[in-house]
Amino acid sequence: MPNLQSIQTQNKNCEAMVKIPLSALRCILRYPKENKIVCEINIQGLSRLNEAETLDEIINEARLDYALGKYKTFSSTQDLITELHSPIHED
């Protein structure tokens, strides 16, 4: 039977950071007693400043684009290849 050794790892606190431009925020509600506000965030402003950096973030960004309807469908392989070779157009 193999000898198993446990390795103790240091518990690191990794926090995700997101840049939110002030022009993308819109205040909806205020709770002065609780020192809280509820804001609406414009997705386009948020994605403009925050580029996807890891594979998980890229997948989540793709899922968000799909949920928002930002995708194309193709009926033939040739149409897909033509689109892939075309210049990139920012929406």
Residue 89: pLDDT band (50, 70, 90) is: low
Query: Average pLDDT of the chain?
Result: 78
- H or E element: which one contains 47? helix 43-49
Whether 51 shows a pLDDT value over 80: the answer reads no
The pLDDT, as a whole number, for residue 3 is 46
Model confidence pLDDT, tens digit, residues 17-36: 777 888 888 999 999 898 89
Cβ(68)–Cβ(42) under 8 Å? no
Whether 7 shows a pLDDT value over 60: the answer reads no
The pLDDT, as a whole number, for residue 15 is 63
